[in-house]
Amino acid sequence: MDNSQNDGGKTVLTHEWYVVHTYSGYENKVKANLLKTVENRGLQEIIREIRVPVEEMVEVRNGKKKTVQRKVYPGYVLINMINTPESWYIVRNTRGVTGFVGPGSDPTPLTLEDVEAMGTVRTALQIDVSVGENIRIVSGPLEGFIGTVQEIDYDLASLRVMVSMFGRETPIDLNFDQIEKL
């Protein structure tokens, strides 16, 4: 539970992401109750952010498309906070919360990689190629091949490249880190 940094003799507490388990279907109520408590008690510096990860899904019912939001992790809420006795008590005693994820009563902070993998915090990826440019594949089974960029998907950090194989143009999906600009 060490979420502090030593800054020249002073201990500086840092914000980290924690996972809270809730009753199923109570995720948004827990978020609303926590936000209200944080506002009422002036704890914005301790409890910075509360998220219920959702994704948009397109459903087709009776021939009509409808966009709905679906919880990615039902029964869980993510909280960015400094773990102090006060913040632990407030979160743990919020109606609908069954506990922190971690051994015993000690909440375990998520690593930045875990948070990014959960889709909560995304690092914006940039690539210096555009549609129509030629690239070289630098890793994978087609390493060394040259192709032309057809599509770029920044959300998935991938692109579609047309590669000439056996005298035919073949579309290949690659990640940003598998290519280099020519």
Enumerate residues 6+ apart whose C-beta is below 8 A from 40. Answer: none
Whether residues 88 and 176 fall in one domain: no
Measuring CA to CA, which residue among 111, 107, 129 is closest to residue 120? 111
pTM given for the model = 0.58
Are 110 and 17 in contact by the 8 Å Cβ rule? The answer is: yes
Residue 126 lies in a domain: no
Domain around 143? 134-181
* Residue 7 clears pLDDT 80, i.e. is over it: no
Q: Has residue 157 got a pLDDT over 80?
A: no
Helices 85-92 and 27-41 cross at an angle (nearest 10°) of: 140
Cβ(80)–Cβ(16) below 8 Å = yes
pLDDT at position 136: 92
Residue 75 lies in a domain: yes
Residue type, 171: P
Q: Are residues 138 and 111 both part of a single domain?
A: no
What pLDDT was estimated at residue 57?
Answer: 74
Q: Where are the alpha helices (DSSP H) in 42-158?
A: 85-92, 112-117
Give the tens place of pLDDT for each residue, 28-71.
Answer: 999 999 999 999 999 998 998 999 988 777 666 666 777 777 88
For 22, counting Cβ atoms within 10 Å of its Cβ (0-12 exposed, 13-18 middle, 19+ buried), the class is: buried
Per-residue pLDDT, 161: 94
The partner residues of 64 in beta bridges, in order of sequence, read: 61
**What does the pLDDT read at residue 125?**
56
Report pLDDT for 67.
77
Q: Compute the average pLDDT of residues 162-170.
A: 91
Q: Does residue 12 sit in the same domain as residue 64?
A: yes
Q: Is the pLDDT of residue 123 over 50?
A: no
